[in-house]
Amino acid sequence: MEKSFHITTFGCQMNEHDSETLVGLLLEKGYVQAEDRNSANIVIFNTCSVRENADKRFFGTLGQLKKRKMEEGENFTVCVCGCMMQQQHVVDTLKAKYPWVDVIFGTHNLHQLPQLLDNLYKEKEKQISILPDREEIVEGLPAKRLYHHKALVNIMYGCNNFCTYCIVPYTRGREKSRAPEEILREIRNLADDGVREVMLLGQNVNSYRGKSADGSLTDFSALLHQLQEVKGLERIRFMTSHPKDLSDDLIQAFRDCPKLGKYIHLPVQAGSSRVLERMNRRYSREQYLKLVDKLRSAVPDIAISTDIIVGFPGETEEDFEETLRLCEEVRYDSAFTFLYSVRKGTPAEHYEDQIPEEVKHERFNRLVEVVNRISAEKNAAYLGRTERVLVEGPGKNGDGTFCGRTESYKLVNFAGSPEMTGCLADIKITGSNTFSLTGEIVGLETGEE
């Protein structure tokens, strides 16, 4: 029987890229990718533990598969992996309440999936393999990209920052940087394969320190300079940068590296220095605002987005108002807002002054109103401008329009056609709303020389 698989991915771009790797690994072994979960006989969930609702969504979806597993038995395989599996209590829950799950693996052993499936089919026994964090980075794994012309590229793994609310350092382990040669080789190959935009991934790209075979170290801005030279590559983006490590060199790189998109995601998390300290963010409100000033003096039209947590333990109304005022001051192009969610095993789990749910929600709604109003105003300022857009393909509205991103990473919808995908287009902006722009093509560059 043909073995077909389907992967459901929760969480961030790290997970998205891990799933691309899992797809690559399975295709290489002759498995085929199914259109949807129902038509697959191997179903894989790549999980996220960053907030409680991600956990809940996973268990909810997993539970729906029990009936099918009971009916089809050995002919239907259920695998789970990702960040949640690096938490012992989750694996214990799975063993106790979902004993019919066939394969469980973690974030440090993606490459073992084909082997685990082989073992399952040979030994007829469920496979649980979670590796602890380790120094070694497995290089050279295949990946099946979601998009033809843009690619996610890990430059580092893990996180050493231990923000007091966050589970990621526990699920992804300590910070490890890939060698610059490996990154360059991968990106050159991608560019040869038609990729025009790369998104460099790391929990804190500013602390990238790649070690070469001769022992020399490359920091993040030096890596960006090296990547400028890759032929065929048009745009370089990165995600995420931690304010405490945002160097003057990196700010300067926005001026010196023409391929670097004029956009930065700079999570602030809170506007009150008191809360920031309790979060262990290691910068103050004032230091953050100074960074924003520096970025804007170097690149006046740089777009800035952020992440904000509402209702961290001990957040007072005054603290929260400081967050609102900071948003008014910075005027973010966009902001991802989250309700604080207690994570088992983090320091903030034990903070006594947890905020009542209704207070969190009330503050959250007030914050969303402010950030959305500002996003809409920022987008409206693009009306009448002509922007260079990398065409991504058909938009998500399903109305036949195409979409792409400006240099500042704004989403633009426009009338296009399939052969434009991956091309650079000059688009006159004719409409704007909170989350996107609309426009008309006034010029097109195919990139073929």
Measured from the CB atom, the residue of 149 and 265 that comes closer to ligand SF4 is: 265
Nearer to ligand SF4, 159 or 427 (CB): 159
Task: Enter the tokens of residue 318.
Answer: 């005054």
Q: 């907030």: which residue's tokens?
A: 51
Stretch that binds ligand SF4, among 30-38, 160-168, 212-220, 333-341 (CB under 6 A): 160-168
411, containing H or E segment? strand 411-414
Do 259 and 227 contact (CB within 8 A), yes or no? yes
Which residues inside 29-58 make contact with ligand F3S, applying CB under 6 A?
48-50
Residue count, binding to ligand SAH (CB under 6 A): 17
C-beta nearest to ligand SAH: residue: 307
Rounded CA gap, 263 and 306, in Å?
A: 11
Does 162 engage in binding with ligand SF4 (CB under 6 A)? yes
Q: Please, which residues bridge with residue 424 across strands?
A: 390, 445
Segment interacting with ligand F3S (CB under 6 A) among 123-131, 168-176, 228-236, 373-381:
168-176
Sort strands 42-47 and 411-414 into parallel, antiparallel or unpaired.
unpaired
Q: Which of residues 321-380 bind ligand SAH (CB under 6 A)?
A: 338, 340-341, 343
340 binds, among ligand F3S, ligand SAH, ligand SF4, none (CB under 5 to 8 A by kind): ligand SAH
Which one of 123-131, 164-172, 309-317, 405-413 is the stretch in contact with ligand SF4 (CB under 6 A)? Answer: 164-172
Nearest C-alpha neighbor of 200 from the set 160, 158, 152: 152
11 binds, among ligand F3S, ligand SAH, ligand SF4, none (CB under 5 to 8 A by kind): ligand F3S
Can residue 309 be called a binding residue for ligand SAH (CB under 6 A)?
yes
Indicate the residue among 23 and 308 with the shorter CB distance to ligand SF4. Answer: 308
Q: Is the separation of the CB atoms in 155 and 205 below 8 Å?
A: yes
* Binding partner of 227, given ligand F3S, ligand SAH, ligand SF4, none, CB within 5-8 angstroms per partner class: none
Q: Which of 5, 7, 14, 405 binds ligand F3S (CB under 6 A)?
A: 14
Q: What are phi and psi of 76, to 5 degrees?
A: -135, 125
367 is an interface residue for ligand F3S by CB under 6 A: no
Contacts of 212 (CB under 8 A, 6+ apart): 179, 180, 181, 218
Query: Should residue 168 be labelled a site residue for ligand SAH when binding is judged by CB under 6 A?
Result: yes
Buried b / exposed e over 15-43, threshold 16 CB at 10 Å, is: bbbbbbbbbebbeeeebeebeebeebbbb
Contact string 33-62 vs ligand SAH (x = CB under 6 A) = -----------------xx-----------
| Three-state secondary structure call for residue 49 | coil
Between 23 and 403, name the residue whose CB sits nearer to ligand F3S. Answer: 23
Our finding on whether 240 is near ligand SAH (CB under 6 A) is yes
Q: Using the rule CB under 6 A, which residue among 127, 203, 241, 305 binds ligand SF4?
A: 203
Q: Is 172 in the site for ligand F3S (CB under 6 A)?
A: yes
- Window of 108-116, 163-171, 292-300, 401-409 that interacts with ligand SF4 by CB under 6 A: 163-171
DSSP 8-state assignment for residue 418: G
Q: Tell me, rounded to whole angstroms, the distance of Cα 341 from its chain centroid.
A: 19
Comparison of 203 and 413: residue with beta carbon closer to ligand SAH: 203
d(C-alpha 80, C-alpha 66), whole Å: 14
| Contacts of 170 by beta carbon, 8 Å cutoff, 6+ apart | 86, 87, 345, 346
- Token pair of 5 as six digits: 């698989």
DSSP letter, residue 431: E
Q: Please, are residues 275 and 164 in contact by the beta-carbon 8 Å criterion?
A: no
CA–CA separation, 309 and 343 (whole Å): 13
Residue type, position 320, single letter: F
Q: Which of 22, 116, 143, 159 binds ligand SF4 (CB under 6 A)?
A: 159
The residues, ordered by sequence, that sit 6+ positions from 316 with a Cβ below 8 Å of its Cβ are none
Residue 163 Cβ vs ligand F3S, minimum distance, rounded to whole Å: 13
Among the listed residues 436, 438, 408, 363, the one whose alpha carbon sits nearest the alpha carbon of residue 260: 408
Shortest spacing between CB 167 and ligand SAH, in angstroms: 7
Q: In the complex, which residues of this chain contact ligand SAH (CB under 6 A)?
A: 50-51, 165-166, 168, 203-204, 240, 242, 267, 269, 307, 309, 338, 340-341, 343
Q: In the complex, which residues of this chain contact ligand SF4 (CB under 6 A)?
A: 159, 161-163, 166, 168-169, 203-204, 242
Q: In the complex, which residues of this chain contact ligand F3S (CB under 6 A)?
A: 11-12, 14-15, 48-50, 83, 167-168, 171-172
